[in-house]
A and B are shown apart, each in its own frame.
Chain A
Amino acid sequence: DAKTTQPPSMDCAEGRAANLPCNHSTISGNEYVYWYRQIHSQGPQYIIHGLKNNETNEMASLIITEDRKSSTLILPHATLRDTAVYYCIVRAQTGANNLFFGTGTRLTVIP
């Protein structure tokens, strides 16, 4: 699996959009971009994933650049409960199945 690069920490004001960047310049054509988050002391929680097109669900939006070398996770209206470590992972859906968790971005939502 390709490695990813994320900023170690970010702050966001409550109610504002949180934009979390991720670089994955060595991503392969068959690898998807997955985002998970881990709220303190809990198991990781799946957020969203995509291949080429932008994706949106009830939790977040995922914007993937045209060259697929980077992406941005957007939490449109951050709440205090969104404070967590956010992990960007690239992974093929076939073949090796384990997820490689890097160090992630620690997002702190400020009241």
Chain B
Amino acid sequence: NAGVMQNPRHLVRRRGQEARLRCSPMKGHSHVYWYRQLPEEGLKFMVYLQKENIIDESGMPKERFSAEFPKEGPSILRIQQVVRGDSAAYFCASSPPSQRSNYGYTFGSGTRLTVV
């Protein structure tokens, strides 16, 4: 039973390019959460998605950032026109449909985005 898979592990983009981060949840999990961690800081919630629906995007920057979780395939976090301040580790977590999960969330290993 593979865990939460994120790819790529490391991504380098030049300023102004687009970054696409992928997250495949654990088997049987239909809820996905994205978090961002700036260097030497804690994790900040960005967005919570269920299949084909954005449930809570209160932590997403208003511009350049978007997320989707299609019926088929992984969840995608997309950052357009990246700037140096977007350099961070982006973590994805998943949980099963039941809101009474006994094990909280399962996190992936993250994607480390570096904007040069």
> Residues on A close to B: CB < 8 A?
34, 36, 38, 41-46, 49, 87, 93-94, 96-104
On whether A44 and B42 interact (CB within 8 A), knowing A96-B56, A98-B56, the answer reads no
Closest to B107 in A: A43
CB distance from A102 to the nearest CB of B (A): 6
> Across the interface, which residues of A come within 8 angstroms of B100, CB to CB?
93-94
> Across the interface, which residues of B come within 8 angstroms of A36, CB to CB?
104
On whether A46 and B103 interact (CB within 8 A), knowing A97-B33, A98-B33, A98-B56, the answer reads yes
Q: With A and B bound together, what is the CA distance between A42 and B104 in angstroms?
A: 17
Total interface residues in chain B, CB < 8 Å: 28
Q: Are B42 and A101 in contact (CB under 8 A)?
A: yes
- Which listed residue (B42, B56, B91, B102) contacts A103, Cβ 8 A? B42
Q: With A and B bound together, what is the CA distance between A46 and B94 in angstroms?
A: 12
**A-side interface mostly:** loop
5 A-B contacts (beta carbon < 8 Å): A42-B110, A43-B4, A46-B105, A97-B99, A101-B44
Check if B1 is an interface residue, CB within 8 A of chain A: no
> Residues on B close to A: CB < 8 A?
4, 31, 33, 35, 42-45, 48, 55-56, 59, 89, 91, 93, 95, 99-110
> Across the interface, which residues of A come within 8 angstroms of B101, CB to CB?
93
Q: Are B42 and A104 in contact (CB under 8 A)?
A: yes
Taking A46-B105, A46-B106, A98-B56 as known contacts, 18 extra A-B pairs with beta carbons closer than 8 A to each other, sorted by chain A number, are A36-B104, A41-B89, A41-B110, A42-B110, A43-B4, A43-B108, A43-B109, A43-B110, A46-B103, A46-B104, A93-B101, A94-B100, A97-B48, A97-B95, A99-B33, A99-B93, A101-B45, A104-B42
CB distance from B85 to the nearest CB of A (A): 20
> Across the interface, which residues of A come within 8 angstroms of B109, CB to CB?
42-43
Closest to B91 in A: A43
On whether A44 and B56 interact (CB within 8 A), knowing A93-B100, A97-B95, A101-B43, the answer reads no
Q: With A and B bound together, what is the CA distance between A93 and B108 in angstroms?
A: 21
> Across the interface, which residues of A come within 8 angstroms of B102, CB to CB?
49
